[in-house]
Structure formats: structure tokens, C-alpha cells
Amino acid sequence: MHYKKSDTVMFVGGVMQNIKKMKSELYELRYFLEQNLARRTEHLMQRIAFLESCNATLCDQLDSAQHALAALRLEEKTAEPGDHAMKLYAINTKPMLPVVIENKSVERAAA
């Protein structure tokens, strides 16, 4: 089979055109991937900040509960043997506020 010079030039020209088209598509895909990565990273950073805030609140509630429990245990140790009166203790006097996490309600202490 014999190729003419013009056929070879057209073939190479077509290959070059396909390479340029693919290169353009790759740049476009890279741009969209970078945009998607930036958007997801921002969303995750917001979730991290929210969860750290919730964690701090829970740590405060746990600390309050541990102090109240320690006070109850100390009072039980120092109570007189004949004293059977019931006493009520408030472990946490902060009102609870509802917090929505992805359409799930969670109770959170007010600041």
C-alpha cells in the first residue's frame, strides 16, 4: 500500500488536532476537580469547627457532671447514719438547646 504525502500530512494534522482537543478537555476536567476539592474542603472545615464546638460543650457538661458526682459521693461519706432524707441535686443547671446536625436533632447546653 502506498501513502501519498498529503495523506500523511492530513493524518498527522488530525492526530495533532485530537491531542489539542484532549489537552483542552484535561485542563477543563482539572479545573472542575480543583473547584470540587476546594468546595468539599471548605465544607469539611465547617463541619470540623462545628464538631469541635459540640465537643467542647460536651466536655463542659461532663466536667460539671463529674464535679456534681464527686460532691454527692463526698456527702454520702459524711452523712450521719440515721439520716435517710432524700435530697435532689442539679447536675447541670444550664438549659438545653436543640441543635440540628444533618436533619437530626441533638440537645446542646446553652452557653
What residues does each domain of the chain span?
A: 5-109
Give the per-residue pLDDT at 5. 65
Q: What is the pTM of this model?
A: 0.51
Given a contact cutoff of 8 angstroms between Cβ atoms, the answer to whether 61 and 92 are in contact is yes
> Tens of pLDDT along 63-105?
999 999 998 888 888 877 655 544 544 444 555 555 555 554 4
Per-chain mean pLDDT for the chain: 78
- The Cα-based distances of 46 to 39, 43, 52, 89 in angstroms read 11, 5, 10, 37
DSSP-derived 3-state class of residue 68: helix
Confidence class for position 59, pLDDT limits 50, 70, 90: very high
Report which of 104, 107, 87 is spatially closest to residue 95, judged by C-alpha positions: 107
